[in-house]
Homo-oligomer: A and B are copies of this chain.
Amino acid sequence: MRDGIPEHGRIPRYYAVKVQVLDLIAELGEGAALPTERELCDRFDVSRATVRQAVSELVLEGRLRRRQGSGTFVAGPKLVQPLALVSYTEGLRQQGIEPGRTLITLEHRPADPGLAAELRIEPGDPVVHIERVLRADAERVGLESTYLAAARFPTLLEVFDPAGSLYACLRDQLGVVFAGAEERVETVLATPREALLIGTNPALPMLLMHRVSWGPDGVPFERVRSLFRGDRLSFTTRLTPTS
Contacts and interface: CB of A to CB of B under 8 A. Distances in A.
Interface of A: 3-8, 11-12, 15, 57, 60-61, 78, 80, 83-85, 178-189, 191-194, 196-197, 205-207, 230, 233-241, 243
A239 B85 contact: yes
Contacts of A12: 192
30 contacts: A4-B193, A6-B192, A6-B193, A8-B196, A12-B192, A15-B192, A60-B189, A61-B189, A78-B186, A83-B237, A85-B239, A85-B240, A179-B241, A180-B239, A181-B238, A182-B236, A182-B237, A183-B236, A183-B237, A183-B239, A184-B235, A185-B185, A185-B207, A185-B235, A185-B236, A186-B235, A187-B205, A189-B205, A237-B237, A238-B243
B230 A187 contact: yes
A91 to B, nearest CB: 13
A57 B187 contact: no
Interface of A is mostly: mixed
Contacts of A83: 83, 185, 237, 239
B234 A186 contact: yes
B193 A7 contact: yes
Contacts of A241: 85, 178-180
Given A7-B196, A15-B191, A189-B60, A184 B239 contact: no
Contacts of A235: 184-186
Contact of A239 (B11, B181, B197, B230): B181
Contacts of A240: 85, 179-180, 243
Given A60-B189, A184-B235, 19 more contacts: A4-B193, A5-B193, A6-B192, A7-B193, A11-B192, A83-B185, A84-B243, A85-B243, A179-B241, A180-B238, A180-B240, A180-B241, A182-B237, A182-B238, A184-B236, A185-B235, A186-B230, A186-B233, A187-B205
